[in-house]
Amino acid sequence: MATAWPLRERPAEFFELRAQNRQQTSDYVSSGNFALDTIDNDDHAFHGIVFDVELTGSVPIESLTIRGVSVRGALGTTKVLTSDQGFAPLPEERDRLEMRKYFSPLKPPREWRVRYSGEAPPATSEPRDLTFTEPVRMAPTSTKQHAALTKLGIYVHSEDAEGVVYSNQRHRGVTREDAHLKVLCGVAHTGGAPFARVGYWGDVAWRPRREFVGKVTYDVRLLLWTPHSHAQFPPAFRAMAVELAKCRAAKMLRPATEIGLGHLPVEALYYVLAFCRHDWAPSQPAPQPLPNWEDEPWEVRRDAYGSRVLVPRSQCADDAEEDDFDDDDDAYDDADEDYDAYYAVNTPSNESSSDDDDDDRDTPPRQEVA
């Protein structure tokens, strides 16, 4: 007789050890390298651009590491700075004397960190890669070693007056996005030095409603499914995991001679789900909008009393019920024909009555035979 596990000791030991030290994240980097490319409309070229990048949250990830940005323009002496949780100051920071000093929509300079600094050759047609000396790690949840970071402010500045190309804002908040990351709209800088309050023409150096032009390069480390990370997966995947657990519980009630999911250790079920991608579960189809009765065609149907009525096509019965209605129509027609035939036979007409009278006068009455 076949058994669920020919070698019981090895699987049992494996899954017991795995339950004690369950792997939470993948030990590989998904697809190596991503580049979120924006649209280049070539609207402006000035000293700098400030914008935010934010995690979309649509894909369960353990972390996202930004490796650098790519920009186009005259470049030259260029710096790239980053600030955690976006470039805009917190509400309690807006009234600080330091913010009044810089008259800036950005956080104070001490809250920014230099990620790239150097001389970059001009890039007139294709964006130039500016690789960070220290990559920035973003994550939706915090760990013992790292804090959660869902939004990052990026500030690209060049000392050349045409150093950085950027565009006018053409989108509502989001310039570009993919499955992992989205680039938000920002502000441009016309000052020759980072965080300068006076612009090129002697006025305010900041220009709102501007968009970044270039690329954001990053790596992604995916999150493996575990009971602890179940809530971070899409609803369709969560439903699939629950149904699989229900199938295992149902198999446990069957006889021991049958081999199925009930004979698997629960940790083996978790091990299988950990190898499933987040988008493998089929999603529910989107509900169809209700039709407008004014634009919908109508059809003639019979109601429960046999009367003919107009019914919208969306409320008409299926083919089987339509066949029943057709049979009912045929039954009504047959009944009408039978009634007409009976009425024609049992109701004498005027001509037939006159002929019968003549026959009665010419023909003697029949004699009953004794």
Which H or E run contains 235?
helix 235-251
Local confidence band at 47 (pLDDT 50, 70, 90 cut-offs): very high
Q: Where are the domains of the chain?
A: 9-23+225-274, 34-222, 298-347
Whether residue 96 contacts residue 104, with contact meaning beta carbons closer than 8 Å, is answered with no
121-171: pLDDT as tens digits:
999 889 999 999 999 999 998 888 888 999 999 999 999 999 999 999 888
- Which are the contacts of 213, defined by CB distance < 8 A and separation ≥ 6? 38, 39, 40, 41, 42, 49, 71, 72, 127, 165, 166, 167
Nearest of 60, 247, 71 to residue 139 by alpha carbon: 60
Local confidence band at 198 (pLDDT 50, 70, 90 cut-offs): confident
Q: Is the pLDDT of residue 185 over 60?
A: yes
pTM over 0.75: no
Q: Which DSSP string do the residues of 139-164 spell out, in sequence order?
A: BSS--SS---B-EEEEEEEESSTT-E
Six-digit token pair at 95? 């009234």
64-86: pLDDT as tens digits:
999 999 999 999 999 999 999 99
C-alpha 297/C-alpha 303 separation (Å) is 18
Q: Which residue has the tokens 């914008």?
A: 51
Q: Identify the pLDDT of residue 201.
A: 86
281-333: pLDDT as tens digits:
877 665 666 555 556 677 777 776 777 777 777 777 654 444 444 555 555 55
Q: Is the pLDDT of residue 117 over 80?
A: yes
Q: Is the pLDDT of residue 116 over 90?
A: yes
C-alpha 15/C-alpha 265 separation (Å) is 8
Six-digit token pair at 264? 């698997």
334-360: pLDDT as tens digits:
555 655 655 555 555 554 444 444 444
Protein fold of 34-222: Jelly Rolls (2.60.120)
Q: Identify the pLDDT of residue 129.
A: 93
Q: Is the pLDDT of residue 213 over 60?
A: yes
Q: Identify the pLDDT of residue 319.
A: 46
Q: Identify the pLDDT of residue 1.
A: 43
Q: Identify the pLDDT of residue 346.
A: 58
Q: Identify the pLDDT of residue 294.
A: 56
- Own/partner pairs for 112-115, CB < 8 Å, 24+ apart? 112/81, 112/82, 112/83, 112/153, 112/155, 113/81, 113/82, 113/83, 114/79, 114/80, 114/81, 115/68, 115/80, 115/81, 115/82
Local confidence band at 363 (pLDDT 50, 70, 90 cut-offs): very low
Question: What does the CA dihedral 128, 133, 136, 142 come to, rounded to 10 degrees?
Answer: 170
The pLDDT > 70 percentage for the chain reads 65
Average pLDDT over residues 233-239: 88
C-alpha 201/C-alpha 298 separation (Å) is 69
16-42: pLDDT as tens digits:
555 556 666 665 555 445 677 777 787
Burial 209-219 (b: 16+ CB within 10 A, else e): ebbbbbbbbbb
Average pLDDT over residues 202-222: 90
Local confidence band at 179 (pLDDT 50, 70, 90 cut-offs): confident
Which residues are registered as beta bridge partners of 51?
154
C-alpha 218/C-alpha 54 separation (Å) is 12
C-alpha 125/C-alpha 40 separation (Å) is 10
